[in-house]
A and B are shown apart, each in its own frame.
Chain A
Amino acid sequence: MAGLPSQPSSEGKLSAGVFDGIAIRLLAPSWLMIGFFLLLPVAMMLVYSFLTKEFRGGVIWEPSLAAYDQFIFDRGLFGDEPPVIEWTYITIFGRSIWQAALATVLCLIIGFPTAYYIATRPANTRGVWLFLITIPYWVNLLIRTVSMKFLIRDTGPLNQFLISTGMIDSPIHIVNTNFAVQLGLFYSYLPFMVLPIYAAVERYNFALSEAAFDLYASRWTTLRKILIPVVKPGIIAGCILVFIPSLGAFLAPDLLGGAKTFMIGSLIEEQFKGSAGNWPFGAAASMILLSMVLLVLMFYARQQTRAGNGAR
Chain B
Amino acid sequence: MPGNTTDVRRYPGFFAFTILCLVLLYTPLIIVTIYSFNDSTSITTWGGFSWRWYQDVFFGIEAAKFKTAAWNSLSIATMAAITATVIATSAAIGMIRGNSFRGKSLSFGLINLPLMVPEIVSAVATLIFFSAIGITRGYFSILIAHMVFCIPFAYLPIAARLEGIEKSYEEAAIDLYATRWKAFTRVLMPLLAPGIMSGFLLAFIISLDDFIITNFVKGAGVETLPTAIFGSVKQGIKPNIMALSTLMLLVSVFFVSLSYYVNKLGERSRK
Q: Is the CB of B226 within 8 A of A140?
A: yes
Q: Encode contact with B along A285-303: 1 for CB under 8 Å, 0 otherwise.
A: 0100110011001000000
User: A216 near B: Cβ within 8 Å?
Assistant: no
Contact check: which of A122, A136, A144, A264 meets B1 at CB < 8 Å? A122
Q: Is the CB of A44 within 8 A of B11?
A: no
User: B4 near A: Cβ within 8 Å?
Assistant: no
A44 touching B114 in the complex, CB below 8 Å, given contacts A110-B17, A135-B253, A149-B237: no
A18 touching B170 in the complex, CB below 8 Å, given contacts A58-B131, A282-B124, A286-B121: yes
A23 touching B171 in the complex, CB below 8 Å, given contacts A41-B128, A44-B125: no
| Interface 9-mer from B19-27, B63-71, B189-197 | B19-27
B214-269 with Cβ < 8 A to chain A: 215-216, 225-226, 229-230, 233, 237, 241-242, 245, 248-249, 252-253, 255-256, 260, 264
Contacts of B8 in A (CB 8 A): 206, 209-210, 213, 219, 222
A84-143 with Cβ < 8 A to chain B: 110-111, 113-114, 116-118, 120, 122, 127, 129, 131-136, 138-143
Smallest CB gap from A1: residue in B = B112
User: A236 near B: Cβ within 8 Å?
Assistant: no
Q: Encode contact with A along B36-51: 1 for CB under 8 Å, 0 otherwise.
A: 0000000110000000
Q: Is the CB of B113 within 8 A of A23?
A: no
Contacts of A209 in B (CB 8 A): 8-9
Q: Encode contact with A along B101-145: 1 for CB under 8 Å, 0 otherwise.
A: 100110110111110111111101111110110000000000011
Q: Is the CB of B118 within 8 A of A33?
A: no
Query: How far does the Cβ of A217 sit from chain B's closest Cβ, in whole Å?
Result: 10
Smallest CB gap from B174: residue in A = A18
Query: How far does the Cβ of B15 sit from chain A's closest Cβ, in whole Å?
Result: 6
User: B183 near A: Cβ within 8 Å?
Assistant: yes
Query: How far does the Cβ of B209 sit from chain A's closest Cβ, in whole Å?
Result: 5
A33 touching B21 in the complex, CB below 8 Å, given contacts A151-B28, A245-B118, A282-B124: no
Give complex CA distance A146, B231 in Å.
Answer: 12
Contact check: which of A20, A117, A129, A272 meets B99 at CB < 8 Å? A20
Chain B interface residue number, banded = 35 or more
Majority secondary structure of chain B interface residues (helix, strand, loop or mixed): helix
Contact check: which of A140, A187, A219 meets B248 at CB < 8 Å? A140
User: A10 near B: Cβ within 8 Å?
Assistant: yes
A290 touching B117 in the complex, CB below 8 Å, given contacts A150-B43, A272-B216: yes
Contacts of B1 in A (CB 8 A): 120, 122
Q: Is the CB of A37 within 8 A of B145?
A: yes
Smallest CB gap from A27: residue in B = B94
A23 touching B128 in the complex, CB below 8 Å, given contacts A10-B168, A133-B21, A289-B120: no
Query: How far does the Cβ of B204 sit from chain A's closest Cβ, in whole Å?
Result: 11
Give complex CA distance A247, B117 in Å.
Answer: 12
User: B79 near A: Cβ within 8 Å?
Assistant: no
A3-32 with Cβ < 8 A to chain B: 3-5, 7-8, 10, 13, 15-27, 29-31
Give complex CA distance A274, B134 in Å.
Answer: 18
Q: Is the CB of B144 within 8 A of A23?
A: no
Contact check: which of A25, A135, A141, A147 meets B32 at CB < 8 Å? A147
Smallest CB gap from B15: residue in A = A117
Contacts of B74 in A (CB 8 A): none
Give complex CA distance A255, B234 in Å.
Answer: 8
Q: Is the CB of A157 within 8 A of B31?
A: yes
Q: Is the CB of B121 within 8 A of A289?
A: yes
Contact check: which of A7, A44, A279 meets B96 at CB < 8 Å? A7
Give complex CA distance A113, B98 in Å.
Answer: 41
User: B205 near A: Cβ within 8 Å?
Assistant: yes
User: A250 near B: Cβ within 8 Å?
Assistant: yes
Smallest CB gap from A45: residue in B = B125
B→A interface (CB under 8 Å): 1, 8-11, 13-15, 17-18, 20-22, 24-29, 31-32, 35, 43-44, 86-88, 90-91, 93-101, 104-105, 107-108, 110-114, 116-122, 124-129, 131-132, 144-145, 147-149, 151, 155, 159, 163, 167-168, 170-171, 173-174, 180, 183, 205, 208-209, 211-212, 215-216, 225-226, 229-230, 233, 237, 241-242, 245, 248-249, 252-253, 255-256, 260, 264
**Across the A-B interface, the 10 shortest Cβ-Cβ residue pairs:** A23-B98, A26-B94, A248-B118, A113-B17, A41-B129, A41-B125, A147-B28, A27-B94, A30-B91, A113-B14
Chain A to chain B contacts (Cβ below 8 Å), 15 pairs: A3-B105, A30-B90, A37-B148, A41-B128, A42-B122, A116-B14, A129-B18, A136-B25, A138-B209, A142-B209, A147-B245, A150-B242, A265-B120, A268-B121, A286-B121
Q: What 18 additional pairs, Cβ within 8 angstroms, besides A19-B180, A24-B101? A: A18-B173, A18-B180, A26-B91, A27-B107, A35-B110, A41-B129, A44-B128, A44-B129, A45-B125, A138-B255, A138-B256, A150-B237, A155-B44, A186-B24, A190-B21, A206-B8, A223-B11, A247-B118
